[in-house]
């Protein structure tokens, strides 16, 4: 059974390996470890049989959250894991009186855009040349007000 729980330092190695496998500009192991020590962060993992299948990261600032990372292992996609991670992150934000969550997504990442839309995020504009490797625009998507 897949469970979603708070990320711990012991998870950082598996998470950083997944990050490197998916993203052209991955966070480092130390980047995850450092973020976990900050007070206004939410990092969650989806896990089954001690294997991390996906993760989400979010920084909180007053009444707004910014999702920094969302990833699901390629072989585990289309199984609802991304939706589970987003739902838990939204619950955590709401429990801390955060009503608005913002994220950026590559304009070409149709599957991620559909995931975010299914989970209540709305496209609010474009950040030109936001991403590197390859250079690409990002949609700004917002959940809540």
Residues catalogued as catalytic? 104, 116
Residues in the chain: 145
Helices (H), the chain: 12-22, 29-36, 81-95, 110-118
Distances (CA, A) of 5 to 47, 62, 92: 8, 23, 11
Q: For residue 22, how many C-alpha atoms fall within 13 Å in the half-sphere facing its CB?
A: 22
């Amino acid at each position: 059974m897949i469970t979603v729980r708070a990320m711990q330092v012991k998870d950082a190695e598996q998470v950083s390996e997944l990050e490197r496998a998916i993203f052209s500009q991955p966070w480092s192991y130390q980047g995850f470890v450092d973020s976990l020590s900050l007070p206004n962060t939410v990092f969650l993992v989806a896990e089954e049989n001690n294997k991390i299948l996906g993760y989400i990261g979010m920084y909180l600032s007053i009444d707004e959250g910014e999702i920094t990372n969302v990833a699901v292992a390629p072989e585990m996609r289309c199984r609802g894991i991304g939706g589970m991670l987003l739902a838990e992150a939204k619950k955590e934000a709401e429990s801390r009186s955060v009503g608005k969550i913002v994220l950026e997504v590559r304009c070409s990442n149709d599957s991620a855009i559909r995931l975010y839309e299914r989970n209540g995020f709305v496209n609010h504009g474009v950040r030109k040349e936001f991403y590197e490797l390859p250079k690409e625009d990002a949609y700004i998507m917002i959940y809540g007000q």
